[in-house]
Amino acid sequence: MFDASQELVLTDRDLRKVVRLVYDHSGITLHEGKRSLVMARLQKRLRHHGMSSFSAYLTHVERDASGEELVLLLDAMTTNHTYFFREEQHFAYLTSRVLSEWRARGSGGPLRIWCAACSTGEEPYTIAMSLADTTPAVEFGLLASDLSTKALKAAKAGVYKMAAVQSVPLEVLRRHFEKGMGEQAGFARVSANLRRRIAFRNMNLLEIGDAGERFDVIFCRNVMIYFDTLVQQRVVGMLERHLKPNGYLFISHSENLNGVTHDLRWMAPAVYQRGAA
């Protein structure tokens, strides 16, 4: 049973096992300097199960045939720091250059966008707001996916503390958010009209063979910084396969595709385009 007075020790062997589990199932590379982070985040899972050692918990993870505890372990280890209008130049590029080219091609059907690491939802909602405000007549649909079930739950709800929406321009905030009242005071919720434009799905970038469709635009930002070159190659190859001809891939300004083999053309900082055929 869990004893709150007992000092928990994360052995080197336990740490290596956590590192291996996280890498194998998410592609995220942890290192020795993350020991305190691993301990802090996994203690909650130990308390939940009434366990007194990390070794016992990891054995439970490995024996859980449902895979649910592994998902919760990955949830605990993933970082979901994001905010609205992050690297805002990308949204301007999307609503000008990308949208103009897409309309000129006259491909028919809605503009399809995949936000491949959506975290708690700020990025896909920013994309939706940008498109709705710049070109209200454009028909678009968004798939937003993430490895973390906890982050996806928050994203689907679309409820944020007022402090989290401070980066949203006031006029945009008024158009696309509802201010919480009563028990919800201090919170804002994305409008139902915007939420219904986005389909949220639990997806692991390492396990996707074929998502079932191809996209005009893919955002995959601030996730590859956690991958080594081998995993980056695997993920970029998968994303490239899911782009339509002339489709665009947006990564973060803190990332690059150096050392990764691909056929994408650099268009702007952290923006790449697939060829026409």
Residues annotated as part of the active site: 41, 146
Rg (CA), the chain: 20
Mode of pairing for the β-strands spanning 159-161 and 215-219:
unpaired
DSSP 8-state assignment for residue 212: S
Q: How far apart are CA 254 and CA 125, in angstroms?
A: 21
For tokens 């009563």, the residue is 182
For tokens 């952290």, the residue is 270
DSSP 8-state assignment for residue 8: P
Residues 6+ apart with CB under 8 A from 266: 272
Query: Which residue in 12, 10, 64, 55 sits closest to 37, CA to CA?
Result: 10
